[in-house]
């Protein structure tokens, strides 16, 4: 028998699916990963009996969390808190807000951060410079950079100055700017074009993984969907892509890499990668790296992969900071 106190989040999800019935559960399954489906199915199949009171509690919790999330997306956390306190009491409202705010991390202009830079530009280019500065200070740096580059030269300096001197901003002003811009972006028909998920989301996730997990995912995708795997590889910088970088960029990257990591990483590097790296360092440095590789002897594969991943992370960080630019064109060519 399952009690309300002993339910894990996965078990609560299983109870909810049981309550929803086969048809609705099947629709929800379409939006889950194979691993999530496997775990939920296991929880459902191992659940022998669920008390009516537990079912009701789980469904009510789900309903309340949906309401809370809706209120947060409409008016922010404080707006949601005020409504929920009146509806279900202060204690329960605080509990729900805590659960959601810790995972949602709602920030101003969340709706606009998911839009394409050119769409954001179309929405804000006629706004007051202070409003443009406010939006650019909240959205992702790459979005802000693309928008800033598209603004008139005389406006760029003013907006940069306003961002630098912005300091604290009235919450009322932020909320009013949000309300106006959200209404504009909706009226211009961009709400259906907001990017959610997709290949870019997968690339961002894989970029954050360790080297072994990255390789496992791509190798698994090769089996199940080779076209998707190839499309992801085109957008993803991996250790082997070092062989496709220009000499100038390789030299810039080498300044950030420790000799120890380099010696370990080259233990399993391809001939092309090794050649490019050695061609961009002095003969004395080449000899030092080769000596280090010989002295250290056998190295665990996991240690090599971790060193390679640290190097890849440095390259990705340099690209994020604008120190280097990697243009991924047609085919396998990388132009930097």
Tell me, yes or no, whether 155 lies in a domain. yes
Residues 189 and 259 in one domain: no
- pLDDT score for 251: 92
- Please report how many Cα atoms fall inside a 13 Å half-sphere around the Cα of residue 168, on the Cβ side: 3
- 219 to each of 179, 213, 224, 241, 275, how far by Cα in Å? 45, 10, 9, 17, 25
Residues 177 and 227 placed together within one structural domain of the fold:
no
> What local confidence, expressed as pLDDT, does residue 280 receive?
94
Regarding pTM above 0.85, the answer is no
Domain presence at residue 253: yes
Same domain for 187 and 128:
yes
The CATH number of the domain where 329 resides is what? Answer: 1.10.220.30
Residues 43 and 90 both lie in one domain: yes
Question: What pLDDT score was predicted for residue 129?
Answer: 87
Residue 255 CA to residue 236 CA, distance in Å, equals 22
Residues spanned by the domain of 276: 237-335
Residue 11, pLDDT score: 81
Q: Count of domains in the chain?
A: 4
Determine, yes or no, domain membership for 20. yes
Q: Tell me whether residue 1 is in a domain.
A: no
Residues 73 and 86 in one domain: yes
Q: Print pLDDT tens along the chain (336 aa).
A: 344 446 777 788 878 877 877 677 777 777 777 677 667 766 776 666 667 788 888 888 887 777 777 766 666 666 777 777 777 788 777 777 766 655 544 466 666 666 777 878 888 888 888 888 888 887 777 778 888 888 887 788 788 878 877 766 666 777 778 778 777 776 766 544 444 345 665 666 666 666 676 777 777 778 877 887 777 776 778 788 898 888 899 999 999 999 999 999 999 899 999 999 999 999 999 999 999 998 988 889 889 988 998 998 898 888 878 888 765 544 444 444
User: What pLDDT does residue 288 have?
Assistant: 93
pLDDT value at position 132? Answer: 87
Q: What is the pLDDT of residue 202?
A: 64
Which is nearest to 268 in space by CA: 214, 221, 306, 232?
A: 306
Q: Which of 104, 139, 174 is the last residue of a domain?
A: 104
Collapsed DSSP state (helix, strand, coil) of residue 334? strand
Model pLDDT, residue 67 = 73
Which residue, of 163, 193, 223, is where some domain finishes? 193
Question: Which residue, among 67, 98, 99, has the nearest Cα to 83 in the 3D structure?
Answer: 67
Q: Is residue 225 one of the residues assigned to a domain? A: yes
Tokens of 59: 């469904």
**pLDDT value at residue 209:** 65
Q: What is the pLDDT of residue 198?
A: 54
């Amino acid at each position: 028998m399952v009690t309300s106190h002993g339910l894990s989040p996965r078990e609560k999800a299983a109870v909810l699916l049981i309550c929803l019935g086969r048809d609705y559960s099947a629709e929800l399954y379409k939006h889950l990963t194979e691993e999530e489906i496997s775990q939920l199915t296991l929880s459902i199949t191992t659940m022998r009996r669920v008390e009516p009171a537990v079912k009701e509690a789980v469904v009510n919790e789900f309903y309340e969390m949906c309401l809370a999330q809706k209120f947060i997306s409409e008016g922010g956390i404080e707006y949601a808190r005020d409504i929920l306190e009146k509806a279900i009491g202060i204690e329960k409202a605080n509990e729900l807000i805590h659960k959601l705010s810790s995972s949602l991390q709602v920030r101003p202009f969340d709706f606009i951060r998911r839009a394409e830079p050119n769409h954001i530009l179309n929405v804000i280019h006629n706004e007051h410079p202070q409003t443009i500065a406010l939006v650019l200070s909240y959205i992702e740096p790459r979005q802000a950079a693309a928008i800033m580059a598209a603004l008139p030269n005389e406006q760029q300096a003013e907006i940069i100055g306003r961002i630098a001197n912005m300091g604290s901003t009235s919450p009322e002003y932020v909320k009013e700017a949000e309300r106006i811009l959200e209404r504009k972006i909706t009226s211009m028909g961009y709400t259906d074009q907001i990017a959610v998920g997709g290949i870019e989301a997968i690339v961002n996730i894989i970029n954050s993984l360790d080297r072994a997990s990255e390789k496992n995912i791509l190798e698994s995708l090769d089996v199940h969907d080779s076209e998707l795997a190839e499309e992801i590889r085109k957008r993803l910088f991996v250790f082997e892509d070092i062989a496709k970088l220009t000499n100038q960029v390789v030299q810039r990257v080498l300044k950030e890499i420790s000799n120890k990591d380099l010696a370990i990483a080259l233990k399993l590097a391809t001939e092309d990668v090794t050649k490019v790296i050695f061609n961009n360092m002095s003969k004395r440095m080449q000899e030092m790296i080769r000596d280090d590789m010989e002295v250290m002897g056998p190295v665990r594969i996991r240690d090599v992969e971790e060193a390679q991943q640290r190097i890849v992370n440095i390259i990705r960080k340099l690209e994020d900071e604008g120190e280097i630019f990697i243009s991924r064109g047609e085919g396998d060519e990388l132009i930097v």
